A and B are shown apart, each in its own frame.
Chain A
C-alpha cells in the first residue's frame, strides 16, 4: 500500500486540477505524521502499517466498517490506548514535529481534546464541567476561569441555552446538549486538536445537525479528527477522508476527490454500499 504524502498529492493536484490552495497547503506543517504504525491487542494485530499525514486546521474523517481499527487509531493519537492493558504500539507518530510517544501523557492530552461516542458529563454543575480541564491542570488563575468557560460554551454553541443555569447539574441537560457540553469542556483547555469518536451516534438528527455545524465552525481554532461510520456525515463535514478496512488504511485523500473518484477498488465498493 502506498504511503500518501500530502505534499506530493498537492503537487499532483495543482498540476492536474489547478487548485489554488495547493501551494499554500504544501507549506503548512501536518498536524500528525504517522509512519509505519502497528498496533496490537495482545497477539491480535489491530492496525497494520498505517502511514498518513493529517493536515492542520482541517477536518479529517476516518471511515470504515465496524471493527476496522478507526477508533483504535484515534485512541492512539491521544494515547488513551495505553489505558487498555496488554496493548503494544510500533512505529512513529509526530505531533507537529515532536514525537507523540515522548510526551508525558497527561500533558499531551491537554493539547489533544477528545469527545466520546456517548456524552460523558461529570456529576458536577455545567460550569464546573467546562472548568474541569482548567482546574485539574492549573491552567488559569481562578479569576479568568469564568471568562474562559463562557468563551468555550459560546464556541460549542451552547452558551445561549445554559447561560442562566450554569450552576445546575450537567446531568439535567439533554443528550445533544450534553455532547456539546463535552465539546465545550474539551475546547476550554484550548487544544490544538479535537478528536471526535463517533460523536453523533447516540444523538437524534437535529442534535447531530447542530454538532456538524459546530464542527464546521471549529476548524478555525483547531484540527479536527472525526471517526464516523456515517458516510453522509463524512461527506458533509470532512476536508480529508481516511478509509480503513480490516486494520489497514486503504486510502487517504481529499473528501471531494475520494467521493468522486476513489483510487482503490475497496473504497469504491464501500462508498457505493456494496459491503460494510
Chain B
C-alpha cells in the first residue's frame, strides 16, 4: 500500500531533525531571556529596598545606602538625549519621507545606517574630544549629547518608516481641499503616524538607557548628587559597571539591584510601546 509508506522514511527523518533543530534554537532564544530575567530578579529584586531609591551611596565598609543619584542622573541624561535626538530624528525623518528626492533620500538613509553602526565607545570618544576636552571636565551635558547622537539614527528611520506607511490617498485628500504641502504634513500625515512615531522614539530611548561605553568618557560618574548639568554625574549603567568590578560583596548586591531596575524600566517601556502601537488608529485605506 502506497499511502502507508508515504512519505518515505528518509523524508520523515529529515523532517523530524529539521523540526527539532529549529525548535531547539527558538527555545534557546527564549530561555536566554528568561534566564537573564530570572537571575536578575533573584539577585536584584531581593537586594532591592526603599533605601535604594532614596539614599546616596555610602563609603565602603558601611552597609546600606542607595543609588538615588544614579537614578536621577540617568533620568537627566535621557531628558537631555531626547531634547537632542527627538527633534533631529523627527524633522530629519519628515524631510526624508516627504521632501527628499530619491537620490538624496538614499544617501541620507545610507549615512544614517552607518551612524547607527558606529560602535558606542567610538561615539563616547568623539563627544569626549568635542565637549569634554574644551570644557576641561566631565559633565551631564557631554553624556546627554553622546546619548542624543546615538538616538538620532533610529528615531529618524522609524519616523520615516511610519510616515511612509501613511497612504498617499490621505495626502491627496488634504491637498485636494487646498492644503499646502506643509499644512498637509502638519495636520494630516504626522497625526496619522503619531502613534508609530512615539513608539519608535520610546524604544529608542529604552535602547540608549542601557548604554555604558559613551558615558564612561562623558558624564563619568559621581558619588554624590550632581547639581545642574555642568558636573560629572552618576548613571545606572556606569554604576553597575563600577560596582560589578569592585571586590565588595555589598556593592555586588547593589549592582544586581541596579541591573534589575534598569531592565525593568526598559521592559516596561517596551510593553507600553507595544500597547500604544496595537491600539493605534487604523489608517484609512490600509
Q: Are A118 and B285 in contact (CB under 8 A)?
A: yes
A224 interface residue (CB < 8 Å to B): no
Q: Which residues of A contact B176 (CB under 8 A)?
A: 78, 80, 109, 112-114, 116, 186
Q: Which residues on B sit within 8 Å (CB–CB) of A107?
A: 178
Give every chain A residue within 8 A of B179 (Cβ-Cβ).
106, 132-133, 136-137
- Tell yes or no: B17 within 8 A of A by CB: no
**Chain A min CB distance to B286 (Å):** 10
Provide the bound-state CA to CA distance between A78 and B173, in Å. 12
Task: Compute how far the CA of A118 lies from the CA of B180 in the bound complex, rounded to whole angstroms.
Answer: 22
Q: Does A169 contact B (CB under 8 A)?
A: yes
* Min CB gap B191→A, angstroms: 6
Q: From residue A244, how far is it (CB to closest CB) to chain B in Å?
A: 21
A80-B172, A83-B172, A120-B167 given; A186·B177 CB < 8 A: yes
Whether the pair A169, B281 counts as a contact (CB closer than 8 A) is: yes
Q: Name the A residues within 8 Å of B285 (CB-CB).
A: 118-120
Q: Mark B9-43, 1 if CB is under 8 A from A, else 0.
A: 00000000000000000000000000000000000
Q: Specify which chain B residues have a CB less than 8 angstroms from the CB of A132 in the assembled complex.
A: 174, 177, 179, 187
A231 to chain B, nearest CB (A): 25
| Known pairs A107-B178, A110-B178, A178-B284; A120 contacts B173 (CB<8 A) | yes
What separation, in Å, do the CA atoms of A169 and B192 have in the docked complex? 12
Give the complex CA separation of A171 and B179 in angstroms.
Answer: 21
CB nearest neighbor in B for A75: B172
Is B56 on the interface with A (CB-CB < 8 A)?
no
Contact call A122/B170, Cβ cutoff below 8 A: yes
A189 contacts the other chain (Cβ, under 8 Å)? Answer: yes
Q: From residue 148 to 177 of chain B, which have CB atoms closer than 8 A to chain A?
A: 167, 169-170, 172-177
A185 at the binding interface (Cβ < 8 Å): yes
Separation of A136 and B187 alpha carbons in the complex (Å) = 9
Q: A83-B172, A132-B177, A189-B178 known; 11 other A-B pairs, CB under 8 Å?
A: A107-B178, A109-B175, A109-B176, A109-B178, A116-B169, A120-B285, A121-B284, A123-B191, A123-B192, A123-B281, A186-B176
11 example contacts (A-B, Cβ-Cβ < 8 A) are as follows A109-B175, A109-B177, A110-B177, A116-B176, A119-B285, A122-B192, A123-B284, A136-B177, A136-B187, A137-B178, A186-B177
